[in-house]
Structure 1
């Protein structure tokens, strides 16, 4: 059975390779525009994103439109076999609009109106801003939606930020009226507003959180974040509506960049294809642990792929360095190809860069680009990009392939927001994302594909579901997890789970709230540990996972009581030495594990998940022993499997394959032993085993 999705565009059913292109910056340099086309072809680039910040070049005065320069660019693309994602330019509006219509400018948390400048410095609620974007977007769509070079819409750029103007305050109150059925009593209860006499007696009293106002009502903070997310998504939908009808066949995307203010899982629902901007800080850490960063980056790629369970686009990455990281390191030899194809390994059907040519001035004049200020192809970066383009050109058969996944990690935006607002056990940092990464990295090291899902998503496709620090969970989603385990699923939760409900009110009756019956434990107390404090987990003899050893633990420790679960490992020291630290509850047809403390040793998680996945019947991408820092990722079309073996360890590594017939995708030769240099990878093909 085919497990292949349609390509992003039927016009270009290939791996897409290209960059953000800003020709409007070079209109006074026609020789450079001509040279760009030649260099794009030389670098094996077949797609560019254009128009992202071009508003003033398209509408230099209100109602005066100048499209001739964009006509020339797109016509030149079409003549030279280059495609375009055409952007709507709402990410940065022209100064004439700010001057004439000051309502479009954002108001910050301190209630001060911004001046014109920067980008995404506009109010998503403003009727004027919505009207102006609709006019320009419609003109772009009318003129270019049928253009032979255009293969998709790129809506705005990295949506983010929030506005606290009067328009947004009123919109927030209207949003609350819908959510809470026009009942202030329900709002007050959901937010526990009797705390510090914060009860609201009229809707007009409700204000968004402010540094000189309210910050301590967690339910308000959480609902404001939800509102900002929904308002941003609504603005994106507004833009989509202005262009969709002119050519419904054109796929629509917007590029995401892990901005904390938007629930990307919800944003993805209104898009045809998900796009991601990735800027890992390779070679940055003092210990040189690129493998940790590779796992972090891979986790975000899997998040993007998981939203729609199909290939996504790597819309931006840097071909060299950035200009905004604290230390901007050059990519070491091999890292550009390895890091670019890491995205493909995790489900991307493109590798695209910011930017094509370095800006001559302003804040991004030293940001990495394919073409440097030297303006020619005789650079290390240009040659690295050309090599990636050549490799991608030989990977057309991988386009549209899927990633077979039987393991999922729950990663909710509501939960992230609530955890970061929690005041209690460790105000120096609960480190939610780091906790998720600990669990993800172990699976990454084992070469086990992972989906990153929401607590409200369907769980039935997975043999193992992991919920690190699922602090916020509703009764309904707790019941869904209970049913999943009862019907044969395997579930693992950690400390600080099942603490609050969907409005950030503590579950009554004992933690972990709606997970208590599933996990078979009661968490009496949770302690934050100082950096000087060290405890540990000692595995019980003959435990059900056949694990042995004594592993250091730190930062958080939960004191639990067994309510049907059995102990697999106990605390090593302090007054709770010998008490359960790792448990399993055999519940219905399934198993539910609980880890009560943050284990410091990375080897613990690898051994834990090697055992749990083996018991659950979950297979790895490659049935071989992988050295630390080497991972294997899988894509398949149902007939052939494509295995990407990647070496992020910082040292040469040898991997002995598992005996299946493998062909090297680049050379066409057979392989059974891989000798991987530093920052090296192998791309293999075999008859499908999944």
Structure 2
């Protein structure tokens, strides 16, 4: 039977609600803290992320520490029932450090060392930087590791970027020696015989550079892997330095939507996953596509540890760094916040609590505006959400019962971007992945976003769009998954290269050829104005007919045991297979040879989800733009019904008994949803 996960913190075993708090910006006005405490309670906030960029306030000169202001803040929190994720300040170092130890400053790919400034402008390999972070972190741990207000450690902030200094070059070479052992093995894996790039000494190897080597794809891929490992090692260094006083305090670091780090590796050293999201709501007439996209990322971060995560940053109103800083329309704050909870978050937190008075984020949204009081629309929205989170807090700790997964590897993502293949003007890997996810999301089907090293056994349906980098081991795992009764969906540009970005020989899709029952002979990139299409075969097993437009990519395939479900309608390959189904063991594997649009994907996944025996959150057909997600403890299901359509909608519920968790009222028949409406229902599991 499904059960809840243990609370992230036993001190606060409920849904968390709060914001980034920067009292060090207001030390000149002691009344601010008193006002902030009063308003935090009014806003129904129970936790703050504290001290994130406070190094200069904590250590104004080398070796001189000033913790008194932080003592006062944390003691005030404890007296008022407010808790803190206490941050390590390594996201931005003080000026005295950059001046005295210039080696801590980052060197860019052009081999020029940066000046002091910005955030994350530091080298994670630098011995001095590691020493200084260990000292300040150790002081924080000793002083606050057992403070009653502290519930965990917030490590740095949005780790990212890379450094190309001499320390990092030496570390990269050591990493490569550990991985390959010999230069002969490295040269073969990188295929350096191309363009006479063979290395004869380890010292010749450098990181990719705009004015040097950047066309060896295996080298580019390994540099990204090294950066992930080095960043993870630095984060682990920080975690160890703060766990000295109280090893039981959980540690997290707030992730962001970046392609620079493989977060699955970083996730292995964290106690809980947290991430930051800032969608551009209301860019168009409805928010369906964006709502689905944000859900994809929530699903990914939940899947990193297969347990509840934390929404560590969002905006209660607007940002100030996007091209257009648009306000959230009425209802969107609640909808977008509960969307995170629906997909597995046990918190809703914001950047920021109080607007800064100066510098680059002084106009970024906040709970407390420059006016300085609670009588604003945004503050009311935040307070109302806080009450809702309190009403539904029994959801905290519950898992999401996903039997569908999308395969999304970071190194595949990197390799696709670097491939120089059929459409260098844009092969749109992420957009394609999200289009498949959206077609499933619109049916209210819980979905995990997994990596090729994860366990496939618990899923009924796995979707692997553009699995360009496919290891032999991954091919074997997917083959076994299908043979054991699973359903697999793949697309063009799959099974092309191995883990070194070397092409599979013997015919594409390489390790997937037996599973898919096809041979991919050629692939054509279409111009933006080009179109092709597919015609469904009469009496096909999917059970729907018609023609559908395709674009961008057309793969020319031969069947090797697979059944043809649809053929191309145009070009010299009209009539050739475009959609196939191969039966293998107890399962089935579908292959889309061309990029198809939302109309086809919607019809396709309706049939595939049913055939795979995947449960929807609600057994009903949802209106366009309305989705449903479910969390469960095995006894009760918690169903979130969310309206991203931009219009009023009505959902016909199935015959099970439901209760509105905010009002306690029984709900049956039809459920009315206003624009940006969201309802949280409870039913027996």
TM-score band w.r.t. shorter chain: over 0.9
Aligned partner of 1:227 in structure 2 is: 226
Q: CA deviation at 1:572?
A: 1.3
SS at match of 1:493: strand
Within 1, Cα distance between the matches of 2:428 and 2:329? 30
Within 2, Cα distance between the matches of 1:7 and 1:606? 37
Q: CA deviation at 1:338?
A: 0.4
Match of 2:520 among 519, 523, 526: 523
Aligned partner of 2:346 in structure 1 is: 349
Within 2, Cα distance between the matches of 1:2 and 1:223? 40
CA deviation map 1:240-271 (0-9, x unaligned): 11112311211110000022211011111110
Aligned partner of 2:19 in structure 1 is: 19
What stretches of structure 1 move > 6 A for 4+ residues in a row? none
Superposition pairs of residues 166-315 of structure 1, within 5 angstroms: 166-181=166-181, 183-285=182-284, 288-315=285-312
Aligned partner of 1:660 in structure 2 is: 656
CA deviation map 1:465-500 (0-9, x unaligned): 110000001111111111111111111110000000
CA deviation map 1:183-207 (0-9, x unaligned): 0001100000001000000001101
Within 1, Cα distance between the matches of 2:422 and 2:495? 15
Within 2, Cα distance between the matches of 1:395 and 1:7? 15
SS at match of 1:516: helix
Within 1, Cα distance between the matches of 2:39 and 2:13? 22
Match of 1:627 among 623, 627, 637: 623
Corresponding residue pairs, total? 684
Q: CA deviation at 1:293?
A: 0.2
Instruction: Say what the alpha-carbon RMSD is for the aligned residues.
Output: 0.7
CA deviation map 1:582-611 (0-9, x unaligned): 1000011110110000012x1211211111
Q: CA deviation at 1:44?
A: 0.2
Which structure 2 residue ranges, 5 or more long, are not aligned? none
Within 2, Cα distance between the matches of 1:206 and 1:665? 60
Aligned partner of 2:546 in structure 1 is: 549
Aligned partner of 2:458 in structure 1 is: 461
Which structure 1 residue ranges, 5 or more long, are not aligned? none
Aligned partner of 2:313 in structure 1 is: 316
Q: CA deviation at 1:383?
A: 0.5
- Bigger drift between 257-266 and 164-173 goes to 257-266
Aligned partner of 1:636 in structure 2 is: 632
Aligned partner of 2:646 in structure 1 is: 650
Aligned partner of 1:538 in structure 2 is: 535
Aligned partner of 1:128 in structure 2 is: 128
CA deviation map 1:291-314 (0-9, x unaligned): 100000000000011111110000
The reply to whether residue 615 of structure 1 matches residue 614 of structure 2 is no
Within 1, Cα distance between the matches of 2:159 and 2:376? 33
Within 2, Cα distance between the matches of 1:549 and 1:521? 23
Check the 8 A contact 2:23/2:33 in 1, yes or no. Answer: yes
Within 1, Cα distance between the matches of 2:455 and 2:308? 19
CA deviation map 1:52-107 (0-9, x unaligned): 00001000000000000000000000000000000000000000000000100010
Check the 8 A contact 2:138/2:244 in 1, yes or no. Answer: no
CA deviation map 1:557-587 (0-9, x unaligned): 1000000101011111111111111100001
Match of 2:425 among 425, 428, 433: 428
The reply to whether residue 593 of structure 1 matches residue 590 of structure 2 is yes
Q: CA deviation at 1:2?
A: 4.1
Within 1, Cα distance between the matches of 2:258 and 2:586? 40
Within 1, Cα distance between the matches of 2:448 and 2:546? 30
Within 2, Cα distance between the matches of 1:488 and 1:176? 40
Within 1, Cα distance between the matches of 2:57 and 2:343? 37
Q: CA deviation at 1:613?
A: 1.3
Within 1, Cα distance between the matches of 2:465 and 2:145? 44
Per the normalisation by structure 1, the TM-score is 0.99
Within 2, Cα distance between the matches of 1:420 and 1:397? 43
Q: CA deviation at 1:3?
A: 2.0
SS at match of 2:672: strand
CA deviation map 1:27-50 (0-9, x unaligned): 001111110000000000000000
Aligned partner of 2:117 in structure 1 is: 117
Within 2, Cα distance between the matches of 1:547 and 1:160? 46
Aligned partner of 1:47 in structure 2 is: 47
Within 2, Cα distance between the matches of 1:655 and 1:465? 28
Within 1, Cα distance between the matches of 2:11 and 2:28? 32
SS at match of 2:442: helix
